[in-house]
Structure 1
Amino acid sequence: MTTSAKRFFRRAGITAVAAALLAGITPGVAAADKGRDRPDLQAMAEQIVASGFAGTQLRVHDARGDWTGSAGVRELGSAAKPPTNGRFRIGSNTKTFVSTVVLQLVGEGKVGLDAPVAGYLPEFGLDRRITVRMLLQHTSGLFDYTGAMLPDGTIVPGIPLTGKEFLDNRFHTYRPQELVRFGLSKPPLYAPGTDWTYTNINYVLAGLVIEKVAGRPYGDEIQRRILRPLGLRDTVVPGTWPGIPGPHAHGYYRYEEKPGQWKTVDITTQNPSWASSAGEMISTTKDLHTFFSALLGGKLLPAPLLDEMRKPHPKGGYGLGIYVQEASCGTVIKGMGGFHGYGTVMASTPDGSRTYELSMTYGDSDADLGQAYNKADQLLTDKVLCGK
């Protein structure tokens, strides 16, 4: 467990064991009460669940104010709804926090945005053409430790993250240096800066840059620079701790145990160290709303660096830690993440007048949840951000 995670549990006054027990005693009654206030939004939450998810939590901010609700179930086999203040694994939304801290260090003159990463992390023997900017925008060309598709279409596997092999190893601890060295053991996908490929290794390296420059773990620096100043009391960097503190919905993993035989496993408890600074964080819709609004409102970065963050790569539509997309109503800005059992989106119009934060928990459905995730995002983009 990282120092920031330990501080979270001390602040909450609970042990790791007690946190797991508390998860079962906070009812989701508020979902129904709030749902009556905005039946249109409650209907969307229920529509998202119907597409294949076990449960969802939704927070919306628009001209009519703030609304929170949930739909589906907290746990398979139970009728209780997900708590509207529930914690969940935010996956790659972690990257937005990490990018923000790196850019703060850039603003302080401690990191060069276009400086070679090798100058900060000489121990890895990185190609000196790879810059900090390339890490944040996914243009380094490095092979991802989670696996990759080569230019000729060949699939090269990474560390075990699927099927029974993953389940058998889901409490294994990975060190960030180990993840980086795995990726570096494979040939790069392309020359630095010549293409775009979303790869987690970039943000593991970014986390190590923070640690090297700041002299403390990246999670502690996120705590010091973002969580504490913004009062994000329900957000934590868990490190190797496998639980989720406080109220939360369960996430499930469905895999083919034998040909034609599918099995669903409760995956709520797992060691998230394989994701490291690319995706291990836990948060709530409320905390994500506070963070994203502060970021886009210029409270965390000076204007020139926020502008850099919001310049999308022409191929991936990815800036520096965020997606910058064109919707029917114009530009929208998003953080998107997936983790075993969980999917998350935080999204906003550029001026912050319309936002939504969405957590989805995977269940026992045989639906294509990747497609369902994208449909949920598109539904909320159209209805909430674009006001259709």
Structure 2
Amino acid sequence: MLLEIKLALLLAVAPADPGAIREAIQGLPDETATAALVRVNGQTHTSGYADVTARTKVAKSTRFRIGSITKTFIAAAALQLVHEGALRLDDPVLTKDGKQITLRHLLTHTSGLSRASVRVDDPRWYLKHRFDTYTPAELLKPALAAPLDFEPGTRQQYNNADYMLAAQAIERATGRPYGQVITERVIKPLRLAATSVPGTASRLPEPYTRGYVRIGERLVDVTRQNPSVAWGSGEMISNAPDLDRFIRALFRGQVVKGAELAAMFTIPDVPAFGPGCPGPKACMGMGLQSATSGGITVWGHVGERPGYASGVFATKDLALRLVYLVNSTEWSPKGGSPAVVQKIYAAVGG
């Protein structure tokens, strides 16, 4: 799915008005979403139903599919290995069209690789194939077969293939599946009990919110889905308390240290290319997206899987921390993000 960041209204360091947040997510379920959860500086608000048939409330600890927030975990694990010397940012990972692509290029989305991918943009196709298992080779084949969109290091373009290749680099360096590496290096040390890398498992652990997509007049339950189609670009599961703990530990240097942590917050001085950034310049460091307004910058990542739209963001000093889940039923929301997400941004920054 396309990644579009529209966070200008989010950039306020004062705690958001709880009433404004409750108003932003009230009235669910509606035509565009069935449930929402917003956690700001540790305070949680919910709306809608975790299950629209049973009409069950959304638990504050509900698990959900975090999509591309997985990339922040990938970057953290890779940079730990860089810190230890098991990986090096400027060593070539592959050669494409005669150009060398490094781990730095992958983590900063400056590889130049094509965004060509396995077809997941058609909801009817997805419903037919959502339990299929995909290998990394199958997922990467379209991007590796296409010519480069630009010379590596010269532009920034958000691309799932970059982080699939970064996951493969982690596996080559450690001799273990990248999910095991993330579990051992990040999930267990931080005691993120609700966070997991599910592999091909289609079920969500309890408690969870169900995901739905609207196809014509039908509301289709897509909670169960084989996440291997996203693999290292977006297969993980978590909840709001875990993501809040993760972003706090990450920014405090408890996950990635020193120069490698600084690299996560360093944006390449190159133009943006294609989808990913709201302006003409690059907006992403390593595993972190940024948005700045009035001299204030937030960092984090958004995530999307069918039925689930989520995000985790914070100011670098952690004065503002936001985690949200919206069970969006829109397959391709107009404006780049579900309407409820845009209301959440406005409420937090208002």
Q: TM-score, normalised by structure 1?
A: 0.77
More displaced, 368-377 or 231-240? 368-377
Match of 2:57 in 1: 81
**SS of equivalent to 2:132:** coil
1:177 aligns with 2:137: yes
- 1:48–1:376 CA contact under 8 A, matched in 2: no
Match of 2:335 in 1: 371
Match of 2:10 in 1: none
Q: CA deviation at 1:372?
A: 7.3
Q: Please give the residue correspondences for 1:296-315 in structure 2 after superposition, counting only pairs within 5 Å.
A: 296-313=251-268, 314=270, 315=272
- Higher relative helix content: 1
Q: CA deviation at 1:83?
A: 1.6
CA distance in 1, matches of 2:188, 2:23: 35
CA shift digits 1:50-106 (9 cap, x unpaired): 683211111110xxxx31121012122343222211000000000000001111111
Q: CA deviation at 1:285?
A: 0.4
Aligned with 1:267 (options 222, 225, 229): 222
CA shift digits 1:348-374 (9 cap, x unpaired): 0110121010011023x69x6353736
- 1:117–1:126 CA contact under 8 A, matched in 2: no
Q: CA deviation at 1:329?
A: 5.8
| Counterpart code for 1:228 | K
| Counterpart code for 1:114 | D
| Counterpart code for 1:373 | S
**SS of equivalent to 2:50:** coil
Q: CA deviation at 1:327?
A: 2.8
* Paired residues, number: 323
| Counterpart code for 2:26 | E
CA distance in 2, matches of 1:231, 1:359: 21
CA distance in 2, matches of 1:301, 1:243: 31
Higher alpha-carbon Rg = 1
Runs of 5+ unmatched residues, structure 2: 1-16, 278-282
Shift in alpha-carbon separation, 1:229–1:355, aligned structure 2, 3 A: same
1:318 aligns with 2:273: no
More displaced, 262-271 or 81-90? 262-271
Q: TM-score, normalised by structure 2?
A: 0.85
- 1:117–1:131 CA contact under 8 A, matched in 2: yes
Match of 2:298 in 1: 332
| Counterpart code for 1:356 | L
- 1:106–1:113 CA contact under 8 A, matched in 2: yes
Q: Please give the residue correspondences for 1:1-388 in structure 2 after superposition, counting only pairs within 5 Å.
A: 38-46=18-26, 52-61=32-41, 66-118=42-94, 127-146=98-117, 158-255=118-215, 261-313=216-268, 314=270, 315=272, 316=277, 317-328=283-294, 330-363=296-329, 369-371=333-335, 373=337, 376-377=340-341, 379-381=343-345, 383-384=347-348, 386=349, 388=350
**SS of equivalent to 1:113:** coil
CA RMSD of aligned residues (A): 2.4
Identity of aligned residues (%): 33
Runs of 5+ unmatched residues, structure 1: 1-36, 119-123, 147-157, 256-260
Match of 1:24 in 2: none
| Counterpart code for 1:205 | L
- 1:117–1:128 CA contact under 8 A, matched in 2: no
